[in-house]
Structures are given as structure tokens and as C-alpha cells.
Amino acid sequence: MSEYQDDLKINIRQLHREWKEQPAKFAKWGEKWADAVAERDRISRELELLNIEYDTEARQNADEIFPKKPTETAISNWIDSHGDIQDLKRDLIEANRIVNHYSIAKTAFQHRTKALENEVKLYLADYYSLEDLDGETKNMIDRKKKKETQKKMGEKLRRKKREK
């Protein structure tokens, strides 16, 4: 399972921990998104500057590069024919994919906050039955109920003795 999927999981038996960890998890994936956006913007700017550089070269050396006076399309095609331009365009596509991935993660952690809120509401409303609890918790509840029952029985016996 991926780190992302692990971070999205909610342990309903540890809601107090989940609430404590939520801001850090949200920040972690938000920072990854911000880093991805910065990298995408860096690649975009690098591509823009390289395009300007090749455009300038094409216009200044048009007689050497083109057999006749170049059109805008010819200049654009000449620029696009360079391997470093093609590499940067591929890098930009990948960077956009990564930004989208982290954007989805960021949104998922906003939804996780809502899910935690709803889990707490369900817990407070006793939605989770005794069968869903682990053995230790069940035993604790059973001991508490047994003590309460013994206390009530003792009180009844004392009342009966007093009545006699």
C-alpha cells in the first residue's frame, strides 16, 4: 500500500490520534503539491526562455536557417524540432500530471477532515456496537457493568435486611 493510501486511512478506535495527526498529514501533502507546482512553473519558465532564445536565433539568422523568408509557422516548427524543447515539453506534461496527483491528494485530505468529524459524531452517538470493539475494551466494559450490578445487588440486600 502506498504512503498516500496509508495516510488516508482512519482508525476509528484511535480517533484522538487521527485528529492530532490530521493537520500534519494535510500539511505534508499540501507541501508536496506546492513543491510540484513550483517545479512545474520552473520547467514552464525554462521552456519559455528557451523558446525565446531559439526564436531570436531564427529571426537573426533566418537567411542561414531557412531557404526563403520564414513564416511564423516555419519558425515555430524549427523551434519545436530541437530535442531540448521536446524534452522540456515532455517534462512539463509529467510535471502537470504530478501537480494534478497532489491536487487530488490535497482534496482527499480535506475530505478526510470531514470524515473524521463524522466518525466522531457516530462514535458519540454510540453507533459502534460492542461487537465492533476489541477484546480489551469489551472486557473493561464487562467489568464495569459487573461492578455496577454487584453494587446494585448489594444495595438491594441491605434494604431488605433493614426492612426485616
- At 58-76, the pLDDT tens digits run 999 999 999 999 999 999 9
Residue 31 lies in a domain: yes
Establish if 119 belongs to a structural domain: yes
- Average pLDDT estimate for 108-122: 91
Q: pTM higher than 0.85 for the full model?
A: no
Contact 103, 13 (CB under 8 A): no
Residues 86 and 143 in one domain: no
Structural domain harbouring 142: 130-164
pLDDT of amino acid 1:
64
Where is pLDDT greater, at 128 or 21? 21
Could you tell me if 20 and 92 lie in one domain?
A: yes
Helix 72-80 / helix 83-124 crossing angle, nearest 10 deg: 70
CA distance 150 to 159: 14
On whether residue 8 sits in a domain, the answer given is no
Residue 81 lies in a domain: yes
Residues 6+ away with beta carbon under 8 Å from 106: 26, 29, 30, 33
1 found inside a domain: no
State whether 41 and 101 are in the same domain: yes
21 and 90 part of one domain: yes
